[in-house]
Structure 1
Amino acid sequence: MSDTPKDNAATQAEMRQFTVADDDDGIRLDRWFKRHMPDTSFNIVSRWARTGQLRLNGKRVGPGDRIEAGQIIRLPPPEVAAAATTAAKAPKPRAPREPLSAEEAELIQALVIHRDRQAIVINKPPGLATQGGTKTDHHVDRLLDGIQFEADNRPKLVHRLDKDTSGVLLLARTSRAAQHFAKAFSSRTARKVYWAIVTGVPSIEDGMVELPIGKQPGTGGEKMYVDEKEGSPARTRYRVIERAGNRACWVELQPYTGRTHQLRVHMAAIGHPIVGDGKYGGAEAFLSGTISRKMHLHARRLKVDHPDGGAIDVKAELPEHFADTLRNLGFEEARGDALPIDEVKFGETPEGKRRAIAAKAKDARKARRGERRGRSRP
């Protein structure tokens, strides 16, 4: 295929098909559109993928999936593409945010556990969603106006916690900080430590769970599962801190990748679901007696490089129900903080190695293209 793809459809009413050229081998699908169809926005590509109008060798595909030389990309007919582009360009009025009540401002300000010129860290309580959604009007993102303080702009979310997971949530106060922290999370140089109470006791007290995770079909993306064939690589280290006989134990969890619901899926997959997580553990995720039925998963600590030098290293106090469970099971909170945090380099993780290989291949392809251009000059 040449630098400019040709429409192979017999008529404009038919779907269009393009063959992936050697120069495009290994790139992401959204990058292919940037190269060959720059007028087709990412939102349009995402919409086509979501509705099944975008296919790769006849199969549904996402904008972030990588393509291979010789594969066939199928697109909607030109008139559908034109309509989508027109709709995408139409400005959508944005509803103004309702001002916070005094109670809401007081709530979010009380959650702040670290604040400087570049960052704010809050201790998110369980039951408060990070962002809004269907039937979710009360969430952290809505409350951020209450902690703008002296800055020109409201702080920005740079990662998320599940609604029922409590603990450390980092916010960026400047665009530079947002880019810095986003890179730290994507490259896995930011270290996150979670505490959890799980049912039973793993036979290996210091172990690594390496099970790929994908979206469970039929759940609309609401639930994840271990998908050995097509799942994304996921890696979690766990360490048993204390045990209550064979009934339950307190574990430290450190995710080396950032998949949706990763910690919950991994612990359930090895037969030790997090207490209170009925979604992944079913009835086995609940303990009898006075133990709370709420989720026992808490983001205890975050360590990340600061944009201005040094590091942010902050801990979040436990929610009341989690602290009560520790006491009821006879556990001492100080023991959890005694464990050293892992200092894992990005390149040592499976995800890091995969990206490093992909980056090396990309550089090689660029070099080959440069050689070809050099040979073509008179």
Structure 2
Amino acid sequence: MQTEFNLQVSENSERLDRYLAEELPDISRSRIQQFIEQGNVQVNDKVCTSKKVNVKAGDRITLQIPDAQPLELQAEDIPLDILYEDDQLIILNKPAGLVVHPAPGHPNGTLVNALLAHCSNLPGIGGVQRPGIVHRLDKDTTGAIAIVKTDIAYQHLQAQLQAKTARREYLGVVYGAPKTESGKIDFPIGRHPQDRKKMAVVPVEEGGRAAVTHWQVLERLGNYTLIHFQLETGRTHQIRVHSAKIGHPIVGDPVYGSGRSVGVNLPGQALHAWRLKLQHPISEDWIEVTATPPATLTTLLEVLRRRAAISS
């Protein structure tokens, strides 16, 4: 049955989404925003699709949560490299070439299809098409990704990502040699104004969202550099866009890279989600996992080291 909440506002308050999030703490704010956008919220018996409307004392608010849609995704027996697992979450080392969730052009063969075969209780957690997915990795980015198995874990990890307490660290090989040993890249990111399949640095007033990446040089390899990246925010393609913006695109990046061949056969960008640290949703103990880099990244570094040694 469809769930319905009826609320009476007792005093002038803030935006509609904030008010509902405070009154209904068991529902995440992002889900409340989705319900508003989908027309499931009424203010004084009129449908309201704006999350920014301010509510006033005396307003009557109705939230209808629709029944969960049947999951049409198919479970597929795809091998998983499991780094950590319990009854709340699972952390995997994702290989290159594996799409995280079904999308146009990738209806199956995704990480979600593999997870449905591995976790029987996953359907319905966090959305029909992306069950269990709280953050994602690009198709050809390898490394650690956390998947949740319960609603509690979903809300807890989502809150950690929003509060920036979960730590995501990456290894990436870039073109060129940065002048300093470390730095911070702070440019808002949004959809590319001409190519909607790409992201770009876009001013906030034009729809960009704040994006911050911290970086540190780990190893200089001639005209290439191995860099340790740490995400403060988690925008789509963030490290790839930011690296290109400062003139040091990720090696092998087919979208934001230089197009130059490095002479090593790579499946895509040389970017690996190396370390993931998060708080367990129930015990609140800290979990830290390190994902072994793929052989292609190891080979690339070996080749670049040999070249740098010869030219020095």
Following TM superposition, by how much is the alpha carbon of 1:293 offset from its aligned partner in structure 2, in angstroms? 5.9
Mapped to 2, the partners of 1:92 and 1:116 lie a distance apart of: 25
**1:144 aligned to 101, 109, 115, which one?**
115
Whether the 8 Å contact between 2:170 and 2:228 is mirrored in structure 1 is: yes
Structure 2 CA distance for partners of 1:315 and 1:33, relative to 1, 3 Å: closer
Deviations 1:315-336 (A, max 9, x none): 11111211111111229xxxxx
Whether the 8 Å contact between 1:131 and 1:141 is mirrored in structure 2 is: yes
Q: Which has the higher contact order (CA 8 A, sep 6+)?
A: 2
Whether the 8 Å contact between 1:291 and 1:328 is mirrored in structure 2 is: no
**2:285 aligned to 310, 329, 341, which one?**
310
CA-based RMSD of the aligned residues comes to 3.4
- Number of aligned residue pairs: 261
Following TM superposition, by how much is the alpha carbon of 1:97 offset from its aligned partner in structure 2, in angstroms? 3.6
Instruction: Give the counterpart letter for 1:232 in structure 2.
Output: R
Structure 2 CA distance for partners of 1:31 and 1:226, relative to 1, 3 Å: same
Following TM superposition, by how much is the alpha carbon of 1:287 offset from its aligned partner in structure 2, in angstroms? 3.7
Following TM superposition, by how much is the alpha carbon of 1:32 offset from its aligned partner in structure 2, in angstroms? 9.2
Mapped to 2, the partners of 1:320 and 1:182 lie a distance apart of: 31
Query: Who is 1:265 aligned against?
Result: 241
Structure 2 CA distance for partners of 1:262 and 1:96, relative to 1, 3 Å: closer
Q: 5 Å matches for 1:1-378?
A: 27=15, 41-44=35-38, 66=52, 94=70, 96-100=72-76, 104-105=77-78, 107-108=79-80, 111-136=81-106, 137-148=108-119, 152-153=121-122, 156-220=132-196, 222-230=197-205, 231-245=208-222, 247-283=223-259, 286-290=260-264, 292=266, 294-307=268-281, 308-330=283-305
Computing the radius of gyration from Cα coordinates, the structure with the larger value is 1
Following TM superposition, by how much is the alpha carbon of 1:267 offset from its aligned partner in structure 2, in angstroms? 0.4
Structure 2 CA distance for partners of 1:175 and 1:250, relative to 1, 3 Å: same
Structure 2 CA distance for partners of 1:191 and 1:32, relative to 1, 3 Å: closer
Query: Who is 1:16 aligned against?
Result: none
Local SS of the residue matching 1:280: coil
Instruction: Give the counterpart letter for 2:158 in structure 1.
Output: A
Following TM superposition, by how much is the alpha carbon of 1:96 offset from its aligned partner in structure 2, in angstroms? 3.8
Instruction: Give the counterpart letter for 1:313 in structure 2.
Output: E
Following TM superposition, by how much is the alpha carbon of 1:296 offset from its aligned partner in structure 2, in angstroms? 0.5
Whether the 8 Å contact between 1:130 and 1:139 is mirrored in structure 2 is: yes
Whether the 8 Å contact between 2:254 and 2:268 is mirrored in structure 1 is: no
Taking structure 2 as the reference length, the TM-score comes to 0.73
Instruction: Give the counterpart letter for 2:242 in structure 1.
Output: H
Instruction: Give the counterpart letter for 1:298 in structure 2.
Output: H
Mapped to 2, the partners of 1:179 and 1:229 lie a distance apart of: 27
Whether the 8 Å contact between 2:173 and 2:226 is mirrored in structure 1 is: yes
Where does the alignment leave 5 or more consecutive residues of structure 1 unmatched?
1-22, 47-61, 69-87, 332-378
- Identity rate of aligned residues, in percent? 33
Where does the alignment leave 5 or more consecutive residues of structure 2 unmatched?
1-11, 24-31, 41-48, 55-64, 124-130, 307-312
Structure 2 CA distance for partners of 1:33 and 1:271, relative to 1, 3 Å: same
Local SS of the residue matching 2:179: coil
Mapped to 2, the partners of 1:295 and 1:226 lie a distance apart of: 19
Greater Cα shift, 287-296 or 181-190: 287-296
Whether the 8 Å contact between 2:216 and 2:229 is mirrored in structure 1 is: yes
Instruction: Give the counterpart letter for 2:277 in structure 1.
Output: K
Mapped to 2, the partners of 1:229 and 1:41 lie a distance apart of: 25
Following TM superposition, by how much is the alpha carbon of 1:135 offset from its aligned partner in structure 2, in angstroms? 1.4
Following TM superposition, by how much is the alpha carbon of 1:144 offset from its aligned partner in structure 2, in angstroms? 1.0
Whether the 8 Å contact between 1:275 and 1:293 is mirrored in structure 2 is: no
Structure 2 CA distance for partners of 1:93 and 1:116, relative to 1, 3 Å: closer
Whether the 8 Å contact between 2:96 and 2:267 is mirrored in structure 1 is: no
Structure 2 CA distance for partners of 1:317 and 1:45, relative to 1, 3 Å: same
Following TM superposition, by how much is the alpha carbon of 1:272 offset from its aligned partner in structure 2, in angstroms? 0.2
Mapped to 2, the partners of 1:255 and 1:123 lie a distance apart of: 18
Query: Who is 1:348 aligned against?
Result: none
Larger strand share, 1 or 2: 2
